[in-house]
Every structure is written in C-alpha cells, then in structure tokens.
Amino acid sequence: MGVSVVKLCCSCPDYCSNIGRVFVTAYDINLPHDDVDGALRKLFSTCGLITDICIRQRDKRLLRRAVIYIVGESTADKALQLSGIDVGGWKAIVKPYPFPEAAGRSIAVSVTGYDKLLSKIDIERALRKHFSSCGEISYVKISTKFASAEFAIVGEHAQEKVFEVDGSHINLLRLFVGE
C-alpha cells in the first residue's frame, strides 16, 4: 500500500460566551421582509453587534419567528429586556434561544484522500484511534465512492486539538489539516 495524502477540512462555528441569540415573535407577518429586518436591527442595535437576523418565509409570507445573533457582553440578557417594546405598531416579544451545551466544544471534520481499497471498518477504527485524544467522536460517516469520511468530535478545546494533528500519520496515511 502506498502513501496517500489525506486532506482534513474542519468547520466549527466558534460560539463563545460573547455571542447571544434570541427568538423574536409578534411582528406583523404581512409586512415586507426588509421592513421587519430593519425594525429589528434598529431595536437590537443597542445590545451589541448584530451579525445575522434570520426571518424565514414561506410562499412570500414571513413566518412568525425570527432569530437574531448578537455579539457583545451579555447580549442575550440585554435583548430580553427589550421584550414588549413597541416597534412601529407591533410589540416585539423576545424569548431566549441559548446555544447547546456542546457549542464551542465541538468540531465537524472531513477527511479525504485515503486509499479506496481500505474497508469502512478499518478506516473508522483508525480515525477513532487517531483522534481519540481530541475528544469523543460522536459519529463517523464514510463514503467509499468518494474516499471521504466525516465525523464530529466533542470535547474541551476539540478544534485546537484536531489542528495539532497536521502532518501526523495514520499508518501509511499522512494527515494535512486545513480549513
């Protein structure tokens, strides 16, 4: 068996303690999307830096709940204090929407480029053994057709630990870590 280059791609939103998110309801779903978005941006601008406002639509009508992401100190708490404030004819109802406990402690990893002749069991066993020091591997999905594997690792500092394997080897496979 020859040496295969394995490319490791990782994505992990870094949801640290200074990012908050809340649900907002009670806006008029018949208003144009941009009007509601603008009103929400104006209302929550005092809470911190708004990174995203997600207002879903179905059949050109707004759905009843928006999600707002805000960066800054105690942003969710500040946003919750705005619940019930009049926003041009409607009152924003703000509810907490905390991140899951594992947020910031998990990473999705994709490995490609290994030998397609290896069995799924051998690939999974090698990945679990090699990445065990990074945290708990919650699932492994392997595609022999595309010679790729995807898995999630949950653990303290999981993202940093995964990138520490850059240039390391699994048997005859060399890992290169990238984003």
Q: From residue 113, give the alpha-carbon distance in Å to each of 7, 9, 82, 138.
A: 6, 12, 51, 22
CATH number of the domain within which 133 lies: 3.30.70.330
Question: Residues 82, 137: one domain?
Answer: no
* Together in a domain, 167 and 124: yes
Domain that holds residue 117: 4-14+104-178
Do 92 and 133 lie in one domain? The reply is: no
| Structural tokens at position 66 | 């928006």
The contacts of residue 153 (CB under 8 Å, 6+ apart) are 106, 107, 109, 131, 134, 135, 136, 137, 138, 161, 162
pLDDT of residue 29: 92
Chosen domain end from 76, 96, 116: 96
Apex CA 64: angle with CA 27 and CA 38, to 5°?
45
The token pair at 46 is: 């005092």
> What per-residue confidence (pLDDT) applies to 38?
95
**Domain check: are 118 and 147 in the same one?**
yes
pLDDT at 6: 43
Domain count, the chain: 2
Among 79, 96, 113, the domain-final residue is 96
Mode of pairing for the β-strands spanning 49-58 and 19-25: unpaired
The reported pLDDT for the residue numbered 169 is 57
In this predicted structure, what is the pLDDT of residue 167?
56
Run means of pLDDT, 10 residues per run, the chain, 179 residues: 41 57 93 94 94 89 92 91 92 89 71 76 85 86 80 81 66 49
111 and 164 inside one domain:
yes
Q: Do residues 66 and 8 both lie within one domain?
A: no
Among 96, 114, 133, the domain boundary falls at: 96
pLDDT of residue 3: 36
**Token duo for residue 93:** 């109802």
Let me know whether 141 and 73 are in one domain: no
Could you tell me the end-to-end alpha-carbon distance of the chain, in angstroms, rounded to an integer? 28
| 171 contacts 123 by C-beta, under 8 angstroms | no
